[in-house]
């Protein structure tokens, strides 16, 4: 039994070896090339344009494939057996029908939205239509895989959707295309980022250039200041508005110019001020607020010249308090004594009460009445503000007062001072002083213009 088993094993091994040898020998033989009229078992040299099937050369076959490919490119996928609708929409139809309804219109599971082939006819089965007579299997109708004369039966080139390698090749192609598209997108994004960076730098450069251009074309602040002084001086020389005159602005503009000219050694003919009462001209230190002019001539028992609108009954209490305490404060300053902080607070409280009452009555007053009352209360407040200065006694000891026999002396004596706004009763004096200063400036300008 053992010997028989060994013999059987050896026999099988020998047969297997013979089979492999025959297979290798057969594989090493050159496949026959078909020529018309030549027996199939005869081996001939390789032809550069061999027959791949009876009556079809390699070049003819390539031409047929190219022609079919162009024809297939114009046919919708569903006519080639491919379901154009996702299974979610049409779950009753398979994704791919290996037997296309194009070839068998009688199928009940067809997902072709058109019955029959609109390009080859509508009659089921083999129908008349265009054909490629040079390709076996196309005999005047639609492609029929059952034709026994078709040399491509079972060939993957007959229908690419039945090729088992088609899916893998198509996947590799899609992956390659997606990878290429990815790198193209990345490079485009980098290029766009470079464009953004370049644009940002260009914008920054233009901003710097514009700033430099503006700096070059912008006048110097000192030049602007000098130009403003020239404009203000020319305005003061030629009948300035009454508001600028009474506020002291016009007088200050002229005084600044005259002080500069006299500081340079220029002097004009003397313009006397004998006809003017300079005690009505109000001065204040440069850099300090306030105007003592409204109360500087008050004496004990005197009262302010209140406008009619502020003589009403509703203003009586704070008005009487101010009339009694303002002369006392002025008397203290005349005796070289400062006004106490408590007195200053009481005076400011009286002005605040009268101002609140005036504002509450604005609907019952005419515009002129309200403006007159408001201006007078502002002047009272300016006088109280001047009293708060640590050097307020200089208003009454002859230090901060206008003095001089002519314009030249007045300008010399006003060092460190400025003209304060006019108070009731001093308007005419301000007009006359402006005319005298303009005349002095005109004479000085003519002398300065001479060589």
Inter-residue contact 229 to 212 (CB < 8 Å): no
pLDDT in tens, 64-87: 777 776 776 666 665 555 555 555
Place of tokens 């001086």: 233
Place of tokens 């509508």: 122
Q: What is the pTM of this model?
A: 0.52
What secondary structure does DSSP assign to 400-414, as a single string? SS---SBHHHHHHHT
What are the sequence ranges of the domains in the chain? 1-30, 31-163, 164-218, 242-449
**CA-wise closest residue to 294 among 411, 415, 385, 413:** 385
Inter-residue contact 386 to 291 (CB < 8 Å): yes
**CA-wise closest residue to 259 among 406, 439, 407:** 407
CB neighbourhood size of 93 (10 A) = 17
Structure tokens at 127: 């129908």
CB burial of residue 257 (10 Å; 0-12, 13-18, 19+): buried
* Rounded (10°) angle between helices 427-449 and 221-237: 120
DSSP 141: S
Instruction: Give the number of residues written for the chain.
Output: 451
Helix (H) or strand (E) holding 344: helix 341-360
Tally the C-alpha atoms within 13 A of residue 276's C-alpha that lie toward its C-beta: 26
CA distance 211 to 397: 55
Q: What is the pLDDT of residue 23?
A: 46
CA distance 260 to 270: 17
**CA-wise closest residue to 422 among 392, 402, 448, 397:** 402
CA distance 436 to 254: 11
CA distances from 206 to 216, 217, 294 (A): 15, 16, 59
Structure tokens at 297: 């001539």
CA distance 369 to 371: 6
How would you write the pLDDT of the chain (451 residues) with one tens digit per residue? 443 444 454 444 444 544 444 443 444 444 444 445 555 555 555 566 667 677 777 777 777 777 776 776 666 665 555 555 555 555 555 554 555 444 454 544 444 454 444 444 444 444 344 444 444 444 444 444 444 444 444 444 444 444 556 666 777 788 888 888 888 999 999 999 999 999 999 999 999 999 999 888 887 888 888 888 888 889 999 889 999 999 999 999 999 999 988 888 877 778 899 889 998 999 999 988 889 999 988 888 889 999 999 999 999 999 999 999 999 999 999 998 889 999 999 999 999 999 999 999 999 999 999 999 999 999 999 999 999 988 899 998 889 999 999 999 999 999 899 999 999 889 999 999 999 999 998 887 666 555 5
Q: What is the pLDDT of residue 284?
A: 92
370: Cα separation from own chain's centroid: 48
């Amino acid at each position: 039994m053992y010997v028989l088993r060994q013999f059987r094993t050896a026999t099988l091994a020998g047969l297997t070896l013979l089979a492999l040898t025959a297979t290798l020998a057969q594989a090493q033989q050159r496949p026959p090339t078909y020529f018309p009229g030549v027996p199939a078992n005869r081996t001939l040299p390789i032809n550069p344009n061999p027959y791949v099937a009876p009556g079809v050369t390699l070049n003819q076959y390539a031409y047929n494939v190219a022609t079919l490919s162009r024809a297939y490119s114009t046919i919708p996928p569903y006519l080639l057996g491919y379901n154009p609708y996702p299974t979610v929409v049409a779950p009753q139809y398979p994704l791919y029908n290996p037997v296309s309804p194009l070839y068998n219109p009688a199928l009940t599971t067809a997902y072709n939205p058109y019955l029959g082939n609109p390009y080859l006819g509508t009659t089921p089965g083999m129908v008349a239509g265009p054909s490629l007579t040079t390709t076996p299997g196309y005999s005047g109708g639609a492609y029929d895989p059952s034709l026994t004369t078709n040399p491509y039966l079972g060939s993957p080139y007959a229908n690419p959707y039945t090729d088992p390698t088609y899916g893998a090749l198509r996947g590799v192609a899609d992956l390659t295309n997606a990878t290429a598209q990815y790198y193209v997108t990345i490079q485009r994004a980098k290029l766009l980022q470079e464009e953004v960076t370049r644009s940002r730098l260009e914008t920054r450069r233009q901003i710097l250039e514009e700033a430099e251009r503006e700096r070059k074309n912008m006048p110097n602040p000192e030049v602007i200041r000098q130009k403003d002084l020239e404009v203000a001086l020319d305005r003061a020389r030629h009948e300035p508005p009454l508001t600028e005159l009474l506020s002291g602005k016009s007088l200050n503009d002229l005084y600044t110019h005259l002080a500069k000219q006299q500081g340079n050694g220029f002097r004009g003919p003397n313009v006397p001020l004998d006809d003017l009462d300079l005690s009505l001209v109000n001065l204040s230190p440069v850099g300090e607020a306030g105007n003592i002019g409204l109360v500087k001539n008050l004496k004990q028992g005197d009262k302010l010249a209140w406008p009619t609108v502020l003589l009403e009954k509703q203003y009586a209490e704070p008005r009487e308090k101010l009339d009694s305490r303002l002369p006392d404060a002025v008397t203290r300053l005349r005796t070289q004594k400062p006004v106490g902080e408590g007195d200053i607070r009481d005076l400011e409280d009286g002005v605040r009460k009268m101002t609140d009452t005036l504002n509450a009555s604005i609907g019952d007053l005419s515009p002129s009445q309200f403006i007159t009352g408001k201006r007078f209360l502002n002047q009272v407040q300016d006088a109280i503000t001047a009293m708060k200065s640590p050097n307020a006694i200089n208003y009454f000891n002859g230090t901060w007062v206008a003095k001089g026999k002519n314009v030249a002396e007045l300008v010399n004596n006003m060092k460190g001072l400025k003209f304060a706004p006019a108070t009731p009763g001093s308007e005419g004096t301000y007009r006359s002083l402006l005319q005298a200063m303009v005349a002095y400036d005109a004479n000085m300008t003519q002398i300065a213009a001479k060589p």
